[in-house]
Amino acid sequence: MPRIYAFANQKGGVGKTTTAVNLGAYLAASGRKVLLVDADPQANATSSLGVDKNAVNPSIYHALIQEVPLDQIILLTHRLHLDLVPSSPALAGAEVEMVPLLGREYLLQRALTPIRDRYDYILIDCPPSLGLLTINALTAADGVIIPIQCEYLPLEGLSLLLRTINLVHERLNPRLTVVGMVMTMHDARTNLSRQVVEEVRRHFPREVFDTVIPRSVRLSEAPSYGETILSYAPGSTGALAYQALAMEVLRRDGDGLAENLEVVEHG
Query: What is the DSSP code (8-state) at residue 142?
Result: S
Distance CA 7, CA 20 (A): 7
119-140 per-position pLDDT tens digit: 999 999 999 999 999 999 999 9
Q: Assess contact for 216 and 236: CB atoms under 8 A.
A: yes
Distance CA 26, CA 241 (A): 10
151-169 per-position pLDDT tens digit: 877 677 899 999 999 999 9
Q: Using pLDDT thresholds of 50, 70 and 90, give the confidence band for residue 261.
A: low
Q: Answer whether residue 263 shows pLDDT above 60.
A: no
Q: Using pLDDT thresholds of 50, 70 and 90, give the confidence band for residue 79.
A: confident
Q: Are strands 143-149 and 82-85 parallel, antiparallel or unpaired?
A: unpaired
| Domain locations along the chain | 3-256
- The pLDDT assigned to 265 comes to 44
**Mean pLDDT over the full length of the chain:** 93
For the chain, what percent of residues have pLDDT higher than 70? 95
Q: Does domain 3-256 correspond to CATH entry 1.10.357.10?
A: no
- The pLDDT assigned to 112 comes to 98
Q: Using pLDDT thresholds of 50, 70 and 90, give the confidence band for residue 256.
A: low
Distance CA 136, CA 108 (A): 6
- The pLDDT assigned to 199 comes to 92
157-201 per-position pLDDT tens digit: 899 999 999 999 999 999 999 999 999 999 989 999 999 999 999
Q: Answer whether residue 105 shows pLDDT above 60.
A: yes
Q: Answer whether residue 267 shows pLDDT above 50.
A: no
- The pLDDT assigned to 211 comes to 98
85-102 per-position pLDDT tens digit: 999 999 999 989 999 999
Distance CA 25, CA 34 (A): 8
Q: Assess contact for 32 and 120: CB atoms under 8 A.
A: yes
